[in-house]
Structures are given as structure tokens and as C-alpha cells.
Structure 1
Amino acid sequence: MTAALTAATAPAARTPRGPSGLVWAVLRVHRTALVFWGLALTAATGCLIWMYALADDARRGASACAVPATDRLPSCTAVNAITADETYSSGIALITTALSYLVFPVAAWAGGALIGRELESGTAQLAWAQSVTPARWLAAKLAVPAVLLASGTGALVLVNLWARGDDNPNLVGDWYYSDVFIGTGPAAVAYALAGLALGALAGLVCRRALPAAGVGFAAALVLYNVLDRYREDLRPTVTRVEAGGFEPPRSAWQMGWNDGLTRATYHPRSHFWPLQYVETGILLAVAAVATLAAFGLLRRRMP
């Protein structure tokens, strides 16, 4: 009797039915991508720490100078001899650009490797035929990379902000540049999540790895360019009129002005965070709609 009970319960003990089993399966299948993501984060963090260490020398290399030197300004020869500013600017720009373009590899990977390949090879159907429902399978496929992407990207954005110091535009670029805008706020995280959702939807639509990767990349490209084109319209601009003429501040994102600079339309530096929040909200809405569409498509295609 005891032997019969043991034999009957043994298979159930060996079957990973809980969420931890699905999470582990996703991590194991995509361990190469996980290792690459970890190495990329480590390398980027190390680069930003190095940039932070160079920041003081970089500021001296980008400071004003005089010929000959004065009590207030160093000589231009001494300033030009400093090369830390070039190294600092290049390093910060590299990491910031990588953050702003993260949506593209994420969308292609999600469509091709995360979803499309498993549907094409039959791995997903095998899991569904055993103990995992399609909805739970897709939920795990999206939740695990979403957590890793959000935490890793968010942490890297914070380190990037720390390394940028006082945000000297001569060293790190103006706040309204596309790469700078995305790579220094929550929009970077939202872009990654939107890319994941769009890629997953592309994988379910195409059901083949290479076409899904291409469609996911194309969807991310359209999203990126539309928001980049209409970012200036996400918040009302400021219009300034002065009869005697004026010089807009360097930090102003100018939309239009007349020849005599008596009238200018622009976004002041204070609009950075409102624009970030609106764009982040749009991206999260896109991610939510794409995720719901993916679950709906999966449910309709199941017998």
C-alpha cells in the first residue's frame, strides 16, 4: 500500500508546476542572453565609474581660458593640453546612446529568441501539452525579462546621472538631444519594456524566429521615430516676446524665433521632467496594449 502511494505521488513531485519552475526554465533557456545582459551592465557601470573619476579634470579641460593667462582664467595652452574632457565626453555619450537605443535589440530578441523560436521549434507547444498553460507560459516569458530589464536599465540610468555630475552641456550634451533625453530618465526603462512587449507580440504574429525579430525591430523603430518627431508637442511651449531683443538661454530647446530675436518659442530646462513623464506614460501604455494583444492572440489561436 505504501509502495503504491509512493509510486503514484512521485511523478507529481518531479513536475515543476509552480511559478518558480517557469522562472527557472526561462532563465535556463535564455542564459546566454542573461549572461550578455549582466556583462553589458557590468561594463557600462565600470565605464561610468571611470567617467566620474575623470569628471574634475574634464571640467578643467572644458573651462574658459585666456591668452595670456589672467588671475581668473588659465592659459589656453594649459587648457588645451588637458585631454580628459574628450575621454569623458566620449564615454558618457557612448553609454547614453546605448541606453537610448536599447529598445531595438530588446524588441528583436523578444520577437526572435524569446517567442518566435520557441513557437517555430515546437518547444512552446510541448510545454503547453504538459503542465503549463499557454497564459502562464507567456506570463513567465514576459515577466522574467521585464524585471531584469527594468531593474538593470533603471540602475544604469541612475549611475549615468551620477557620473554626469553638474550636466555641463559642453561635456555631456544638451538635455533635449534625443540620446540625452532618453538616457537620463525613466523613459529609458519604458522604452525597454515597450520593446519587449512589441517583440513578444511580433513573435506570436509571425511564429518564426527571423521574421519575428525583423518585425519586432521595425515596430520599435516606428515607435522611436514617432516619439522623437513629436516629443516637442508633448507639452505646451513657452513664448517670450521682448521689444529690444534678447538671447535665449543655452538650456532652452528652441522651437522657433524671428530674425531680430524679439520673439522666441522654446521649451525651458524645467520642461525636462514633464516631458519625461508624458513620454514614459505613452511608452508604458504601448507596452500594456501590446501585452494584452499578445495574450488575446494566444488565446484565440489555442484550440
Structure 2
Amino acid sequence: MSTLTGRRPSRPAPYRPSGLTWTVLRLHRTALYVWGAALLAAVAALIWMHAIGPDARAAVGDCDASDPFPMDCGIIRETAADKIYAYGLALVSACVTFQMYAVAVWAGAALTGRELESGTARLAWTQSVTPARWLATRLAVPAVLLTAGTTLSVLLGNWTRRAGNGDLSGGWFNTNVFISSGPVAVAYALAGLALGALAGLVLRRALPAAAAALAVAYVLHEVLDGFRMSLWPAETTTGLAALRFPHGALILEHGAVTGAGERLTTSMACVGTDSAAALGTCVKGTELTDFWTIYQPESHFWPLQLVESGLLLAVAGLAAAAAFALLRRRHS
């Protein structure tokens, strides 16, 4: 019949993605493109630096684990290490560390603040989408993407450090290295997302919400950075052991004790002494009777990571719960 009437048979309409998840991705596609481009650039840079890692290791060599002054290795690396490898790794680490600020600002300004200010959110609520479901989707979609992308960056970053020299961009306790080397990087991103979304719901305007989210993220980052090494008990040694600092350890406090019991916290006397006889010779003719060192060994990296991650996830959970409670109270 179609031949006789001159009509062509109808074709099914092409499939078009729909639903809240697709709406979030389409509405915030610019941010998605920018974040995706940054992630691809970081992945490409880390893979390339992994390839040149052996050359960087050969250029600087490994620090002697028996060196009583392990921090001196930083001076050697600064003058001998492959600059491209060291600075490139440091740059990627900094981007992973401070992505929380960008996430918080975007979440406050665009994810919730702008939609409430423009009325887009209220329009969605009139189309059989509950406020709770609207917020859950806007938190879940970026949370999944941030978790996957940040985890990939952390794994590739650690892979790159093992290929070259893990200390080329600083010790494990360096802020950027610590955050970009473990699960705490994901926790920071999720905390920034939740805090930004809460700021947008509270202020309901894009620019004020972005400023508030940035300020809260900064305070959270600085507080944890200042108290990080207090989140897990430090090691304490005395006597000869206190004069041979463990390689890779972060020295929190070091000093000497006089015969009168006075603690000299700035004394570096006899550091590097490797035997009891040498120690006796060193303190002969002085008033020093003992030494102590309080430090965080490299073996505490994972306990510190897990404790800080737990705190950040608790902050993210509380912020998300507060956002849902606020939304429910306003529209109940």
C-alpha cells in the first residue's frame, strides 16, 4: 500500500537519553567538559612522567637510608633531579590537592545556587520530581564522577612515583604529596561537593554561595593541614636512638636534657652519633645528659590517611544531611 499511496514507511525516532541523571549532565556539560579535559591532561602527564621516571632516578640516585640528616636529600634533589619529572609531578599533586576548592565553588554557584536563583529547581519540582530526589541526583552524579576521576589520578600518581623517586616532589608528609597519594584526596573532593551544595541551598544565590563555599573549604583544609600529624600518636625515642633520625620520618620535636633537668628544644648537639662510645665523647665536658626525638615515621602514612578521610567523610555526610533537612523544612 505504501507504494501505491506514495508514502514511505515511518521510522522509529532516534533514542535520546532522558531522566534526571542525563538532565544533570546536560545542564552542567561545560563543567563536565572542563573537568574531563583536566583529567585527561593529568593522566597523559603522569603516564609520560612514568616513562621518564627511571632517568630521573638515575640522575639523583637514592638517599642513603643511614644518613642521619635525611632532609639533606632535598638539597641534592633540588640541584640534580630531573626538573621536568619533579616539577611535573608536583604540579599534578597540587591540582589533585586543591580541586576541593573548585568543586566547592562550582557546587555552591552552579549545582544548587544558580538553579534556585533562576527558578530552574522549582520548575523541576512541579514536574513530578520531588525536592529530595532533585538534590539526591545532583549530589550523586558528580560524586560518582569525582570519586572515579580522583581515584584514577591517585593511582597513576603513585605509579609514577614508584617509577622514579617517590621523594622528588617532597616527603610523604608534604601537604600536596600526602593528599594526592591516598583516599583522602577523594574525601576532600566529596566534602567540597557537599559543603558547596549546602551553601547554595542556604543562600540561594550563585555568587554569595560560591564565596561561602570557598571560605568554608579553605577553613576545613587549613585546620586539617595544621592538625594532621596529631591525628595519630607519634613515636618517641630517647638516648642514642634519638640522634639517628629514621629515614623519611617527619621530626616533630627534638632536643636535649641538661643535668639540671632543663629541656633544650633547639639543641642539635651530637646528632648523627652512631655508637655509645662516640656519644660519651660528644657529651664529655658538657651539661647534656640525654636526648629525645618525637616523630611520625613513614609507616604512619596509612593510619593518618584513614583517620583524615574518616573526618572528611563525616563532614560531607553532615553537610549532605543538613542540605536534605533544610530542603525538607522549606518544602514540607
* Structure 2 residue corresponding to 1:291, chosen from 311, 317, 320: 320
**Is residue 101 of structure 1 aligned with residue 120 of structure 2?**
no
Aligned pairs, how many?
272
Q: Quick one: distance in 1 between partners of 2:121 and 2:228? A: 39
| Contact 2:103 2:192 (C-alpha < 8 Å) held by counterparts | yes
Deviation at 1:246, TM superposition (A): 1.7
Q: Quick one: distance in 1 between partners of 2:187 and 2:149? A: 12
Paired position in structure 2 for 1:173: 170
- Secondary structure at the counterpart of residue 265 of structure 1: strand
* Structure 2 residue corresponding to 1:114, chosen from 102, 111, 115: 111
- Secondary structure at the counterpart of residue 289 of structure 1: helix
Paired position in structure 2 for 1:256: 253
- Equivalent positions of 1:14-53 (< 5 A) are 21-53=19-51
Unaligned runs of 5+ in 1: 1-15, 66-78
- Secondary structure at the counterpart of residue 19 of structure 2: helix
- Secondary structure at the counterpart of residue 131 of structure 1: coil
User: Which one-letter code corresponds to 1:227 in the other structure?
Assistant: L
- Secondary structure at the counterpart of residue 233 of structure 2: coil
Deviation at 1:243, TM superposition (A): 4.5
Q: Quick one: distance in 1 between partners of 2:241 and 2:158? A: 38
| Contact 1:256 1:265 (C-alpha < 8 Å) held by counterparts | yes
Higher helix share goes to which structure? 1
Deviation at 1:59, TM superposition (A): 1.1
| Contact 2:60 2:81 (C-alpha < 8 Å) held by counterparts | no
Q: TM-score scaled by structure 2?
A: 0.78
Identity of aligned residues (%): 55
Q: Quick one: distance in 1 between partners of 2:168 and 2:207? A: 40
| Contact 1:58 1:83 (C-alpha < 8 Å) held by counterparts | no
- Secondary structure at the counterpart of residue 102 of structure 1: helix
> After alignment, is 94-103 or 245-254 more displaced?
245-254
Unaligned runs of 5+ in 2: 1-15, 64-75, 256-266, 272-290
Q: Quick one: distance in 1 between partners of 2:241 and 2:116? A: 67
Paired position in structure 2 for 1:276: 305
| Contact 1:22 1:140 (C-alpha < 8 Å) held by counterparts | yes
| Contact 1:109 1:199 (C-alpha < 8 Å) held by counterparts | yes
| Contact 1:54 1:84 (C-alpha < 8 Å) held by counterparts | no
**Is residue 91 of structure 1 aligned with residue 80 of structure 2?**
no
Paired position in structure 2 for 1:215: 212
Deviation at 1:64, TM superposition (A): 7.5
- Secondary structure at the counterpart of residue 235 of structure 1: coil
Paired position in structure 1 for 2:188: 191
Q: Quick one: distance in 1 between partners of 2:164 and 2:253? A: 25
Q: Quick one: distance in 1 between partners of 2:42 and 2:236? A: 40
Deviation at 1:51, TM superposition (A): 0.5
Paired position in structure 1 for 2:132: 135
Measured against aligned partners, the alpha-carbon deviations of 1:234-289 in whole angstroms (never above 9, x if no partner) come to 00110011148622023111110001352100000000000000000000000000
| Contact 1:239 1:263 (C-alpha < 8 Å) held by counterparts | yes
Over 3 Å counting, the alpha-carbon distance change for 1:83 and 1:265 in structure 2 is: closer
**Is residue 144 of structure 1 aligned with residue 141 of structure 2?**
yes
- Secondary structure at the counterpart of residue 132 of structure 1: coil
| Contact 2:195 2:319 (C-alpha < 8 Å) held by counterparts | yes
Over 3 Å counting, the alpha-carbon distance change for 1:117 and 1:244 in structure 2 is: closer
Paired position in structure 2 for 1:12: none
- Secondary structure at the counterpart of residue 172 of structure 2: coil
| Contact 2:43 2:153 (C-alpha < 8 Å) held by counterparts | yes
Paired position in structure 2 for 1:125: 122
Q: Quick one: distance in 2 between partners of 1:27 and 1:300? A: 27
> After alignment, is 238-247 or 137-146 more displaced?
238-247
Over 3 Å counting, the alpha-carbon distance change for 1:244 and 1:264 in structure 2 is: closer
Deviation at 1:222, TM superposition (A): 0.7
Deviation at 1:60, TM superposition (A): 1.6
Q: Quick one: distance in 2 between partners of 1:49 and 1:169? A: 15
User: Which one-letter code corresponds to 2:147 in the other structure?
Assistant: A
Q: Quick one: distance in 2 between partners of 1:245 and 1:253? A: 13
Q: Quick one: distance in 2 between partners of 1:128 and 1:64? A: 61
